[in-house]
């Protein structure tokens, strides 16, 4: 099924309210990547901020959790499992010899509601181990299951492991015929843990429209194109407040994280509104009373701000009846839609710098990551990359070529020099990059993969004997890292 496209006013939303949302998000310094607004099952606004585009599968982070929970819903419907099944009965071979009383009580329901009893998550080292399930079961179950909410991504991964143990299929494989094909979601993929279980808690990649389809599926309580796929009672339970999120152990006290938790979804401040939620602002927001959904890809350290802007601008603008068409506001909305783009580096060309420092080859010192590691930006699960061996930056008339040598293989990134990013496919992923001179001996590149939540700025400080390379992530969650790249004696190195 293809979503119908229509004007905002025809579904009772003013174009001015959408413009207000876009303005407020920009003023709050939220880096928007993709936005779809649906009402009565029709798309009334959609937009992507270049270099992000509708065809790209964006990292979902914890939005993934709702997909995993939905798979559990289907498995329950088919009698494959019950929510009361205990972990000690599902994984008897991996449990401690003398399981604690609380571990013995932990069940699928407590995993769904983030209340299995852990006070902390297992360590990163344990999470990366093939024996992570045993580590999860050994971790102290301090609280009685079902009594204390604590965010627990490995707990969602346990749901994926339960499904795989019960069915022999990953979450993606299990959902393919039950959810993805009926909803028209193509090419969804998920990262895996060391033992082959999918990272159901954080590893999915979906397009913005895929997100909107899942949110619409929840709004319609399991019915798609007139056919019931998943029973209605699942959605009543999944979207309800199953457990309070204000307690002594959960540390996120932002306003929209205080409203309670369902089955791998959050309740929101407005009455009856709930959301699928991934780090840095990957949202699928469901407005049951308004028959509306909003799907957002973004990059923000303060995603609570974006949600509150949504409540302040779009929610009050959803009227029960169609509105008169507003030609002026609609035209402004179209102009805004057509001009959506992230800021790109632009500056006066420095021919002397390009001549002096271009086409030189620099050697990488030990510990310098490869090209994808330098430009990949923020990610919960860093890409495996070979260390950098050498780097060359060559300047042309409208673009520069940044060529890296990793494990004897050359990889080249195109860099736009006219204020527009150029796209390059590297290792099967798209990358966009633009560059500008920031001084007679300083050249800056802003690069990112449009499948990831952010990117990096690479700033070359050229010297006679080499270049200092300062790498700064686009999201201010980590500090700047500087590498020194000595000039190669052999220009062919």
Q: What is the pLDDT of residues 171-193, one digit of tens each?
A: 999 999 999 999 999 999 999 99
- Distance separating alpha carbons of residues 188 and 176, to the nearest angstrom: 9
pLDDT at 383 over 90: no
The answer to whether 487 touches 473, Cβ cutoff 8 Å, is no
The CA-based angle 50-308-115, given to 5 degrees, is 100
What pTM did the predictor assign?
0.96
Residue 461 lies in a domain: yes
Rounded CA-CA distance 108/376 in Å is 35
Determine how many CB atoms are found less than 10 A away from the CB of residue 382.
Answer: 11
**pLDDT the model gives residue 376:** 75
Angle (nearest 5°) at CA 164 between 429 and 130: 70
User: Is residue 384 very low, low, confident or very high in pLDDT (cuts 50, 70, 90)?
Assistant: low
Which of 336, 362, 388 delimits the end of a domain? 336
pLDDT over 90, % of the chain: 92
- Distance from chain centroid for Cα 271: 26
Q: For residue 136, tell me if it sits in a domain.
A: yes
Q: Is the pLDDT of residue 377 over 70?
A: no
The 10s digit of each residue's pLDDT in 46-61 is: 999 999 999 999 999 9
At 276, which CATH number?
Answer: 3.40.710.10
**254 with 327, same domain?**
yes
If asked whether residues 384 and 255 sit together in one domain, one would say no
Q: Residues 1-32: pLDDT tens digits? A: 899 999 999 999 999 999 999 999 999 999 99
Residues 331 and 359 in one domain: no
Residues 326 and 377 in one domain: no
Let me know whether 256 and 202 are in one domain: yes
How many CA atoms within 13 Å lie on the side-chain side of 160?
32
- pLDDT tens, 314-331? 999 999 999 999 999 999
Q: Specify if 491 maps to a domain.
A: no
Counting the structural domains of the chain, the total is 2
β strands within 119-190, DSSP E: 189-190
**Residue 58: inside a domain:** yes
Q: Which of 312, 336, 360 represents a domain boundary (last residue)?
A: 336
162 shares a domain with 100: yes
Q: Is residue 208 part of a domain?
A: yes
The pLDDT value given to residue 491? 44
> Which spans in 38-152 are helix H?
64-77, 87-90, 101-105, 108-112, 124-127, 132-138
Based on the domain organization, do 291 and 393 belong to the same domain?
no
Q: Are residues 330 and 358 in the same domain?
A: no
Say if residue 330 is in the same domain as residue 454.
Answer: no
Residue 142 has pLDDT above 90, yes or no: yes
- For 335-359, how does the pLDDT look when each residue is reduced to its tens digit (9 = 90+)? 999 999 999 999 999 999 999 999 9
- 360 shares a domain with 324: no
Helical spans, DSSP H, in 168-222 = 171-175, 181-183, 208-219
Strand order in the sheet with 204-206: 58-59, 204-206, 189-190
Lowest mean pLDDT among 43-47, 108-112, 252-256, 308-312: 252-256
Q: Is residue 359 part of a domain?
A: yes
pLDDT band at 379 (very low <50, low <70, confident <90, very high): low
pLDDT of residue 88: 98
What's the CA gap between 453 and 31, in Å, rounded?
A: 9
325 and 452 inside one domain: no
Question: Mutual orientation of helices 64-77 and 153-167 as an angle, nearest 10°?
Answer: 40
Question: Is residue 346, in this structure, part of any structural domain at all?
Answer: no
Listed residues 274, 301, 336: the one ending a domain? 336
Identify the bridge partners of residue 430 per DSSP, sorted by sequence position: 425
CATH code of 477's domain: 2.40.128.20
pLDDT 10s digits, 216-227: 999 999 999 999
Structural domain includes residue 195: yes
| CA atoms in the 13 A half-sphere facing the CB of 86 | 13
What mean pLDDT is predicted for residues 472-488? 92
Angle (CA) 7 10 16, round 5°: 60
pLDDT tens-digit map of 256-303 = 999 999 999 999 999 999 999 999 999 999 999 999 999 999 999 999
Query: With left for phi above 0 and alpha for psi between -120 and 50, is residue 369 left, alpha or beta?
Result: beta
Instruction: Provide the pLDDT for residue 493.
Output: 45
**Sign of torsion over alpha carbons 216, 220, 222, 226:** negative
End-to-end CA distance of the chain: 54
Burial of 257 from C-beta contacts in 10 A (0-12 / 13-18 / 19+):
buried
Domain that holds residue 433: 351-486
The answer to whether 79 and 43 have CB atoms below 8 angstroms apart is: no
List phi, psi (to 5°) of 288: -55, -40
Q: Token pair for residue 122?
A: 């297992």
The mean pLDDT of the chain is: 95
Contacts of 64 (CB under 8 A, 6+ apart): 156, 190, 199, 200, 201, 202, 203, 204, 278
- Whether residues 330 and 359 share a domain: the answer is no
Name the DSSP class of 399.
Answer: E
Distances 41 to 219, 245, 276 between C-alpha atoms, Å: 9, 31, 18
Residue 482 has a CB neighbour count (10 Å cut-off) of: 11
Report residue 197 as tokens: 């279980």
């Amino acid at each position: 099924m293809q979503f119908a496209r229509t004007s905002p006013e025809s579904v009772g939303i003013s174009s001015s309210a959408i413009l207000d949302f876009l303005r407020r998000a920009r003023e709050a310094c939220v880096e928007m990547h993709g936005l779809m607004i649906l009402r009565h099952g029709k798309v009334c606004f959609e937009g992507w901020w270049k270099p992000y585009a509708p065809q790209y599968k964006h990292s979902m982070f914890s939005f993934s959790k709702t997909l995993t929970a939905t798979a559990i819903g289907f498995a329950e419907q088919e009698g494959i499992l019950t929510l009361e099944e205990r972990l000690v009965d599902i994984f008897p071979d991996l449990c401690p010899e003398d399981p604690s009383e609380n571990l013995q009580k932990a069940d699928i329901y407590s995993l769904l509601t983030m209340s299995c009893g852990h006070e902390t998550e297992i360590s990163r080292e344990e999470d990366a181990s093939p024996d992570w399930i045993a580590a999860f079961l050994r971790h102290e179950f301090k609280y009685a299951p079902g009594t204390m909410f604590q965010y627990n991504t490995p707990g969602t991964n346990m749901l994926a492991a339960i499904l795989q143990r019960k069915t022999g299929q990953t979450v993606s494989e299990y959902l393919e015929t039950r959810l993805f094909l009926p909803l028209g979601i193509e090419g969804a993929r998920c990262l895996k843990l060391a033992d082959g279980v999918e990272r159901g808690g954080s590893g999915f990649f979906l397009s913005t429209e895929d997100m909107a389809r899942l949110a619409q599926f929840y709004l319609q309580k399991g019915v798609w194109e007139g056919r019931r796929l998943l029973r209605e009672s699942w959605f009543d339970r999944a979207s309800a407040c199953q457990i309070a999120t204000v307690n002594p152990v959960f540390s996120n006290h932002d306003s929209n994280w205080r409203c309670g938790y369902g089955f791998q979804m959050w309740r929101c401040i407005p009455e009856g509104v709930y959301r699928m939620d991934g780090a840095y602002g990957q949202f699928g927001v469901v407005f049951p009373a308004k028959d509306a959904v909003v799907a957002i890809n973004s990059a923000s350290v303060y995603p609570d701000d974006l949600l509150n802007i949504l409540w302040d601008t779009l929610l009050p603008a959803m009227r029960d009846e169609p509105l008169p068409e507003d030609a002026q506001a609609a035209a402004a909305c179209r102009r805004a839609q057509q001009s959506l783009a992230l800021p790109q580096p632009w500056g006066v060309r420095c021919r002397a710098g390009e001549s002096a420092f271009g086409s030189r080859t620099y050697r990488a010192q030990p510990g310098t990551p490869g090209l994808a590691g330098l430009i990949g930006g923020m990610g919960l699960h860093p890409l495996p990359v070979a260390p950098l061996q050498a780097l060359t930056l060559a300047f042309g008339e409208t673009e520069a070529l940044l060529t890296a040598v990793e494990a004897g293989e050359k990889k080249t990134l195109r860099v736009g020099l006219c204020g527009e990013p150029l796209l390059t496919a590297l290792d099967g992923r798209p990358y966009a990059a633009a560059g500008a001179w920031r001084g007679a001996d300083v050249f800056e590149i802003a690069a990112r993969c449009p499948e990831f939540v952010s990117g990096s700025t690479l700033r070359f400080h050229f010297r006679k004997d080499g270049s200092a390379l300062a790498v700064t992530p686009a999201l201010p969650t980590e500090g700047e890292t500087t590498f020194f790249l000595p000039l190669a004696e052999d220009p062919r190195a």
